[in-house]
Amino acid sequence: MAAPAPMAYLAGFFDGEGSVAIKRNKRHSYILVLVVGNTDPTVLHLFHQHFGGFFPRPRLRPGWKPFYTWQASTGPAERCLRALLPHLRVKRAQAELALKFRKLMLQNAGHGQVPRDELRVRREAYRLEMKQLNLRGASEGGE
């Protein structure tokens, strides 16, 4: 087993190269997704070792280095965000919102504590808020 990676290092890498999203499919099913990408897969393997997730095939473009991604959803995504949260700066708000979303999903899993229509509205509200946080983060860098 690999030596524990310093969570501060992984958090810094995630702040710079990662993304947090709440995605919705056509059937109105929602999922938390993390993605970290880079042309060097070394750190991505650390994410995989510590949190699970998976590696899609690298994206190949003529004349470019291969581009690798690590992806995680649901449980592995939650474990990752909880471990990195104390060290996050750039993506702290996204991580906190993602964990609230995940809590809602787990509270309601199979128990129906929140009426179905209200649950759909709350999930969509989280998705839209995440989208705004991600847009705002992109525009703040240029000011």
Whole domain around residue 43: which residue ranges? 7-140
For 79-83, the CB contacts below 8 A with 24+ separation are 79/51, 79/52, 80/14, 80/34, 80/47, 80/50, 80/51, 80/53, 81/20, 81/34, 83/7, 83/10, 83/50, 83/51
Q: What CATH number did the domain enclosing 136 receive?
A: 3.10.28.10
| Per-residue model confidence as pLDDT tens digits over 122-138 | 999 999 999 999 986 45
Domain-located, residue 134: yes
Determine, yes or no, domain membership for 100.
Answer: yes
In a domain, 1, yes or no: no
Q: What is the pLDDT of residue 143?
A: 40
Per-residue model confidence (pLDDT) at position 141:
45
Instruction: Specify if 2 maps to a domain.
Output: no
Tens-digit pLDDT profile for residues 27-53: 778 999 999 999 999 999 999 999 999
Residue range 58-79, pLDDT digits in tens = 888 888 899 999 999 999 999 9
Q: Is residue 95 part of a domain?
A: yes
Average of per-residue pLDDT across 94-105? 95
Asked if residue 49 belongs to a domain, the reply is yes
Q: Compute the mean pLDDT over every residue in the chain, rounded to the nearest whole number.
A: 88
Instruction: Report the number of distinct structural domains present in the chain.
Output: 1
> Residues 99-115: what's their mean pLDDT?
80
**pLDDT value of residue 28:** 74
In 3D space, the residue among 101, 38, 47, 105 whose CA is nearest the CA of residue 76 turns out to be 47
